[in-house]
A = this chain, B = another copy of it.
Amino acid sequence: MKDSPQVTVLRLGHRPGRDERMTTHVGLTARALGADKVVLANAARNQADTVIDITDRFGGPFDVASTEEPKRLIRDFEGRVVHLTMYGEPVQEIEDDVREAHADDPLLVVVGAEKVPFEVYEHADWNVGVTNQPHSEVASLAVFLDRLFEGRELDREWENPDRVVVPQETGKRVVDPDEK
Residue-wise, chain A 142-180 has the 8 Å CB interface mask toward B (1 for contact) of 110011000101111010000011111111111000000
Q: Which residues of B contact A32 (CB under 8 A)?
A: 130-131, 133-135, 139
- The smallest beta-carbon distance between A133 and chain B, in angstroms, is 4
Q: Which residues of B contact A58 (CB under 8 A)?
A: 133-134
Consensus secondary structure, chain A interface: mixed
With known contacts A138-B136, A167-B87, A131–B33 Cβ distance under 8 A: yes
Extra inter-chain contacts (18) besides given A21-B21, A32-B139, A131-B156, CB under 8 Å? A22-B25, A28-B133, A32-B131, A32-B135, A58-B134, A87-B172, A88-B167, A89-B169, A92-B151, A92-B154, A122-B170, A130-B142, A131-B153, A132-B164, A132-B167, A138-B142, A142-B142, A146-B147
A-side residues, CB < 8 A to B, are 18-19, 21-22, 25, 28-29, 31-33, 54, 58, 86-92, 118, 121-122, 124, 127, 129-136, 138-143, 146-147, 151, 153-156, 158, 164-174
Contacts A/B (CB < 8 Å), 5 sampled: A25-B135, A32-B131, A87-B171, A138-B142, A139-B141
